Amino acid sequence: MFRILFHSPEIPGNTGNAIRLAAVTGAELHLVEPLGFDFEDSKLRRAGLDYHDLAVVTVHKNLQDAWAALAPERVFAFTSEGEELYTDIEYRTGDVLMFGPESVGLSAEVKADSRVTARVRLPMLPSRRSLNLANAASIVLYEAWRQQGFAGSTGH
């Protein structure tokens, strides 16, 4: 399946929603420290409901540790400055879908990492800062999964 990577997420509710997203789609969720919360945070637990035990969630000390564990063939970095639209990508199982912290997005250094296959954007109206992190991940993951015929689901 696909792998979602949140680099330094700050808002516990977004990560809780991503845990739920991972559980219902079969995606893996990878979190790169520092995290803006701990796993005992009530907002994270509430947003993830009882899906924590059903999701594959891995926390990495830094991005280098994440790359070593993931050994990604392709990494798509989602940013408002992306050159490609998320719908123009032909996603493949195992792709890493990387998103940055809610307040600032991915740093220039992370976006320029040699492992990044493409910088990708979701369309938005002009003069808007960003889309909610969990919502952005959901939109992209479901497009990627749709392209795979919703493999493994009961709803196809």
Burial of 20 (0-12, 13-18, 19+ CB in 10 A): buried
Would you say 133 and 97 are in contact if contact means Cβ atoms under 8 Å apart? Answer: no
Q: pLDDT digits over 2-55, tens only?
A: 999 999 999 988 998 999 999 999 999 999 999 998 877 676 666 555 677 789
pLDDT, position 54: 85
Residue with tokens 């808007």: 128
Binding-site residues, please?
100, 122, 130
Report the binding-site residues for S-adenosyl-L-methionine. 100, 122, 130
Cβ–Cβ under 8 Å, residues 33 and 2:
no
Amino acid (one-letter) located at 99: F
Kind plus residue range of the DSSP H or E element containing 83? none
Per the DSSP assignment, residues forming a β-bridge with 97 are 4, 76
Give CA–CA dist 24/107, Å, rounded: 29
| pLDDT tens, position by position, 93-140 | 999 999 999 999 999 999 999 999 999 999 999 888 789 999 999 999
What the block records as the tokens of 31 is 């979190």
Query: For the whole prediction, is pTM greater than 0.85?
Result: yes
Distance, in Å, from the CA atom of 66 to the CA atom of 88, rounded to the nearest integer, reads: 26
User: What are the residue ranges of helices labelled H in 51-132?
Assistant: 63-70, 108-111
User: Could you tell me the domains of the chain?
Assistant: 3-147 (3.40.1280.10)
